[in-house]
Amino acid sequence: MIIKTCLLVTDDYDDHQAFSEAASEISEGAIVLIILESQKARHLLKTKSNFFDYIFLDLLMPDIRINSFLKVIQQEANATGTIIVYGDEGSFTKIENPSNLIYFKKDYKYSELKDFLKKFFDPSSELYQ
């Protein structure tokens, strides 16, 4: 079994449930850690002992400062995992350095989320070929 870790940063309880359920349905080796506040996530990511294969970041959180958070992830935390940001299209345009990011629209259907997550958590997907 391949273990893949995911940090989900969102205050949306519907997203907590949807991401957790979808990841567990896709892979036995999916581990999802949910953090409700962007500041707590920043502190966690700054510690060098934490590594996540995937970081899903809700751009619509009220306390999020998108660009400073991404800077922490990309530079200070030396993150080597995949960074996926999700929100509405307007929030994507606020990102100053959009390179190396994957985008997902927040107004998703569960089946779309599951198909999207399958690319990351399912060892038989094209990412692992």
Beta bridge partners, 30, equal: 4
In this prediction, what percent of the chain has a pLDDT beyond 70? 88
Reported as half-sphere exposure (CB side, CA atoms, 13 A), residue 129 has a value of 4
Please give the share of the chain, as a percent, with pLDDT higher than 90. 33
pLDDT exceeds 80 at position 113 = yes
What confidence score (pLDDT) does residue 46 get?
78
Domains of the chain: 4-120 (3.40.50.2300)
Q: State residue 95's pLDDT score.
A: 85
Could you read off the pLDDT of 19-46 as tens digits, one per residue?
A: 999 999 998 889 999 999 888 888 888 7
Is 35 exposed, middle or buried, given 0-12, 13-18 or 19+ CB atoms closer than 10 A? middle
